[in-house]
Chains A and B, each alone.
Chain A
């Protein structure tokens, strides 16, 4: 999936736990069902944390791209 296909993009690079999860959820809460959210984060825990939050909130993780120091998430709002 490409960043250009996302409805909303979020740059969370440089933020530490819990902010990537908190801000990702806040963005999802403001979106319509079926829309795509693109998130970039550098927090090493976010690779596990964001999927855990998505699982619990019923939102769909489409893809994680591990770009070395940056993780990119494609998320579909439930």
Chain B
């Protein structure tokens, strides 16, 4: 029988907030379960998702996010007040717990164990002073051409 070429998905993860860390990892873990070959390219703030010093403490800010649910009516501008980001992060974590979602480190493990290819962007690392040793084991380091080489043959290309 002729071996069918697997489908492929390429994702760029550019954001480092707790909420936006989920979509790339959820799509990646689901796609590998569907026998899709997956690569995630972490760039700019997205590198925090695979930074061991940061990935357990990603935050979400209410400022400039009017969609953020609030227990009381809340003028968005008050998001500048000290303590609002920890408060919003705490709320987000309790919502995550309510639906029994895995944590970001747990979801990363699922992705890495199932063979999701993960790459952190070299200029971002240099810019922010993050070394390869700061990254979760299994995350490689490369630039735009290496990602594009993978993405050019992908069936799905996403920018998150």
Contacts and interface: CB of A to CB of B under 8 A. Distances in A.
How many chain B residues sit at the interface, stated as a range, is 10 to 19
Interface string A35-64: 000000000000001001100110000000
Interface in B25-63: 26, 29-30, 33-36
A68 B119 CA distance: 43
A27 B98 CA distance: 25
A16 B101 contact: yes
Given A17-B26, A18-B26, A25 B101 contact: no
Contact of A18 (B7, B30, B36): B30
Contacts of A25: 33-34
A22 B101 contact: no
A13 to B, nearest CB: 10
B115 to A, nearest CB: 12
A63 to B, nearest CB: 21
A21 interface: yes
A21 B100 contact: no
Nearest to B33: A25
A53 B34 contact: yes
Interface in B94-120: 99-102, 110, 114
Contact of A22 (B7, B30, B35, B100): B30
Contacts of B30: 17-18, 21-22, 49, 53
A19 B29 CA distance: 9
A15 B100 contact: yes
24 contacts: A15-B100, A16-B99, A16-B100, A16-B101, A17-B26, A17-B30, A18-B26, A18-B29, A18-B30, A18-B33, A21-B30, A21-B33, A22-B30, A22-B110, A25-B33, A26-B33, A49-B30, A53-B30, A53-B33, A56-B7, A56-B34, A56-B35, A56-B36, A57-B35
Q: Would you list the 6 A-B pairs with minimal beta carbon distance, nearest first?
A: A25-B33, A56-B34, A18-B30, A16-B99, A18-B26, A22-B33
